[in-house]
Structure 1
Amino acid sequence: MDKARAVELFATVARAGGFSAAAMDVGMSVQALSKAVKQLEANLGVRLFHRTTRTLKLTDEGARLLEVAGPALKMLDEVLDEVRTSSDGREGIVRITAPVSLGARMLVPLVRSYRLEHPKILFDLVLDDLDTDLVQSKIDIGFRIGGQPSRNVVSRRLSALPLAIVAAPEYLKRHGEPKTLAELLTHPCTGFRLPSTGRLLPWELNIDGELTYQDVPSVCNFNSVLPELDAVKAGIGIGQLSLYLIKEELASGELVEILPQFATAASSVYMYYPHRTQMPKRVRDFINYVIKAAPALLPAPR
């Protein structure tokens, strides 16, 4: 039995959450993949998965094997990538994860401009609003909005993230424009739920120079900011959104900022990546490029 291959197949099943999805990833039949994992279990003398007809969960031994083998498999992939590409680092893939909104408004322009100068660098973008484990997901660079990432990664703050309270002109024509906090709290608003926990976030307000968290009467809640933006533009309610997300709509008049005295910039945009003794040159070069170029794409606090 090729133990290294067997461990790699086991890790693919664990990350995919099932044999069917993993089989598609590796180009094997479900039966052949299941047989390979069972042979690994027999060789180790332990069960790696709890199997039922509906669920597949790691045993304690399986979780430990994935924890130890994951970084080693990622390092092997990186070495093989480096061998396949040119020695000067001007070829290869940079794998990135980011929230959907950052991907559309920041990363796409960055990738476009970078590839004009480095056309042999390829990009693989995984866009979702969850915190992604870089090592397990074989990701080179991550981006996130909010607080600083955990200590087990290297992180770099790119910019503060100003928020604005906005509404569609059609909404304001129908309902009037609130001028005070008390009036705002009588209006229908949109809300945002953290995808990781489902918790509904309060709005951040600058009240007399102090950051205050305020629950608002949300009539429509979202776990992704792009649909929330569409809802505000459609006049469903007043929303609090990041300036980088709505700068085009504000410039065109599709959205109007209201209650600017309450605007805040408490959150930030961070770039983060794993601790590594040997980082591929293409990844390091793109990190350095982002540090220089990204702030220009993100509105500065007012």
Structure 2
Amino acid sequence: MLDGRIFSGVSVLAAVVEGGSFVKAAGLLGLTDSGVSRAIKRLETRLGVRLLDRTTRSVALTDEGRRFYGEVKSHLDAIEDAAAIASGATSAVRGRLRVNIDPFFLPQVLAGRLGVFCERHPELAIEFVTSLQVGDLVSEGIDLAIRFGQSGRSSLVSRKLMEAPILTVASPRYVKRYGRPKHPLEITNHRCLLFIDPHTGRPYDWAFMRGDETIEVPVSGPLTFTDPKSMLEECLAGTGIAQVIGWGFGQLLERGKLVDLFPNWHGERFPLFAFHPSRAHPPAKVRAFIDFCIEAAREI
């Protein structure tokens, strides 16, 4: 028989994880902060393990809590799916959506367009989390991840949304000072701005494709980044040459702020994926946001 006290405690734990604090969990559940705290303590006592590390500023799952939550989250999702099906609400886009999103895709593709999505779905609130890696979506309370490249996590459902071209760009200031390379192989002798691949912890390799021809070029430079916005600012300032996802740069190229160094070598493509925890029926809010991401990228 289902222990109602454990089920009640798990529901409170889920609210704490999703809300990120006892205060937010209390608001989601209509309880007091102390009521949430007591429910968590009762659950911990019942299980005989400490589930949360609490400080004055934050709440985080312990290792035991992460394992426990990872096990029960799928069951909570299944109950939510069953309730949605029973109520006929599988097409309702509402509630709260937590998205782990690529630090390039958000500012370069979605920023400035999100108001349209909010107007379409006024009952939905979105929280964006930007990080280098996908992480553990379940324990972090993430509904969806939008990232370039595969995640390597077999427990996630992945869907390739589309592919973006790779551009090699520099500012006119850089070209005036260091010259413009005429062929990709000449990049070896130039100052390049490197970007860390979150899956390997090393800078991305640079490759150039034209038809069936592919050239891999060793590059080096003074700066290495994990933040695409900072890399772009340094590229605009003339510090070095950068390889970037070819979305969101149309105006900078048209206004002459950036120069596309090799317009005939756009063959390399970088895939954009959507990841979400395995569920029989992905929520309508997840499906709606994925569709919007595809729409926004196509409009760039």
TM range (shorter): 0.7 to 0.9
Distance 1:189 1:160, change over 3 A: same
Taking the TM superposition and a 5 Å limit, the aligned residue runs for 1:1-302 are 2-8=5-11, 10=13, 22-26=21-25, 37-46=40-49, 48=51, 58-59=62-63, 61-74=64-77, 89=92, 91-108=94-111, 111-116=114-119, 118-128=120-130, 129-147=132-150, 150-195=153-198, 197-206=200-209, 209-288=212-291, 290-291=293-294, 293-298=295-300
Amino acid at match of 1:176: G
Query: Is contact 1:14-1:58 (8 Å) kept?
Result: no
* Distance in structure 1 (CA, Å) of the matches to 2:90 and 2:53: 44
Q: Deviations over 1:258-296 (max 9, x none)?
A: 1334434232112333332334344434444555x2452
* Distance in structure 2 (CA, Å) of the matches to 1:197 and 1:49: 30
Number of matched pairs? 291
Amino acid at match of 1:58: T
Q: Deviations over 1:186-210 (max 9, x none)?
A: 2211000134553222212237844
Amino acid at match of 1:184: I
Partner-residue secondary structure (3-state), 1:205: strand
Gaps of 5+ in 1: none
Distance 1:260 1:139, change over 3 A: same
* Distance in structure 1 (CA, Å) of the matches to 2:66 and 2:98: 24
Amino acid at match of 2:244: L
Deviation at 1:237, TM superposition (A): 0.6
* Distance in structure 1 (CA, Å) of the matches to 2:90 and 2:79: 17
Q: Deviations over 1:56-106 (max 9, x none)?
A: 8735x5443122122234555677899999786254444433112212233
Say what the alpha-carbon RMSD is for the aligned residues. 4.1
Amino acid at match of 2:62: L
Query: Is contact 1:96-1:125 (8 Å) kept?
Result: yes
Percentage of matched positions with identical amino acids:
26
Amino acid at match of 1:99: D
Deviation at 1:240, TM superposition (A): 0.9
Distance 1:151 1:3, change over 3 A: closer
Distance 1:158 1:33, change over 3 A: closer
Higher deviation after alignment, 24-33 or 194-203: 24-33
Query: Is contact 2:98-2:129 (8 Å) kept?
Result: no
Query: Is contact 1:48-1:58 (8 Å) kept?
Result: yes
Distance 1:205 1:182, change over 3 A: closer
Partner-residue secondary structure (3-state), 1:229: helix
Distance 1:219 1:81, change over 3 A: farther
Could you state the TM-score of these two structures normalised by the residue count of structure 2?
Answer: 0.75
Distance 1:50 1:99, change over 3 A: closer
Partner-residue secondary structure (3-state), 1:191: strand
Distance 1:219 1:79, change over 3 A: farther
Distance 1:26 1:273, change over 3 A: closer
Deviation at 1:161, TM superposition (A): 1.4
Distance 1:136 1:73, change over 3 A: farther
Partner-residue secondary structure (3-state), 2:252: helix
Deviation at 1:244, TM superposition (A): 0.3
